[in-house]
Amino acid sequence: MFAFESDIKWCTKTQTLSGWTTVRGAQVHIRVPRDMIHSIPMYNDAVEWEIEQYKSDIIQRLGPYLVAQTA
């Protein structure tokens, strides 16, 4: 499970999900742009309220990719 250490926030201005997590012992700020969210088949046409409501599930689905990107 991919755990954020702060609340996951949806920013309507930048159209990103963001929060802090620890990867390999280091604090990392993760940002997930809307186009990446739309790359998940289940969320390919998600509107803002859906992203806000399901942000934890979205992060879990992208977790392995996000960890790999921080390496």
**What pLDDT digit, counting tens, does each position of 14-34 carry?**
999 998 888 888 888 889 999
CA distances 40 to 57, 58, 64, Å, are 11, 8, 13
- The answer to whether position 3 is within a domain reads no
Q: Give the pLDDT means over successive 10-residue stretches in the chain (71 positions).
A: 76 92 83 94 95 90 82 67
- 24 contacts: CB under 8 Å, gap ≥ 6: 70, 71
The residue segments making up the domain with residue 61 are: 9-70
> What share of the chain in percent tops pLDDT 70?
94
- The answer to whether position 61 is within a domain reads yes
Please choose, from the candidates 27, 21, 16, the residue with its C-alpha nearest in 3D space to the C-alpha of residue 1.
21
Q: Could you give the number of structural domains in the chain?
A: 1
- The answer to whether position 38 is within a domain reads yes
Taking only Cα atoms into account, the Rg of the chain, rounded to an integer number of angstroms, comes to: 11
List the structure tokens of 61. 């689905």
